[in-house]
Amino acid sequence: MATPTTYDQIARLIAHYDLEFGMTVKPASPREARPKAKARGISRERVERRTATAAILELFDREEPRRAPVKVPGLGALVRRGYLKQRGDGYIRTAKPFYLDPTRQA
């Protein structure tokens, strides 16, 4: 048998195999709807964490190196991301802006 090229030939071929081998062709099912996308923005917990980080960044000056008054976890991450630079035995604040909601940067 030659390769089917038209819709009628393909339909006859499917019907032939369906009768000969007892195969059934399932009708196409409607595509399931995708779940609705989450709203953009950030969660309340993330805003609270970023507010705490902003308070930590306010402890440091742009010119004078300062040490953290208490042991603050996460200073290394702020250095890595460019918000603080280590100078001598303290840290200085860089000019990089820190946004509470990074999705709405000005």
What was the pLDDT predicted at 13? Answer: 67
Q: Is the pLDDT of residue 56 over 70?
A: yes
**Which string of DSSP letters, residue by residue, matches 22-80?**
---PPPPPPPPPPPPPPPSS--HHHHHHHHHHHHHHTTS-SSS-B--SS--TTHHHHHH
Segment 58-87, tens digit of pLDDT: 999 999 999 888 888 888 999 999 999 999
Q: Is the pLDDT of residue 16 over 70?
A: no
E strand or H helix that includes residue 13: helix 7-21
Q: Is the pLDDT of residue 88 over 80?
A: yes
Domain boundaries, the chain: 58-101
Question: Measured between alpha carbons, how far apart are the two ends of the chain, in Å?
Answer: 68
Q: Is the pLDDT of residue 98 over 70?
A: yes
Q: Is the pLDDT of residue 106 over 70?
A: no
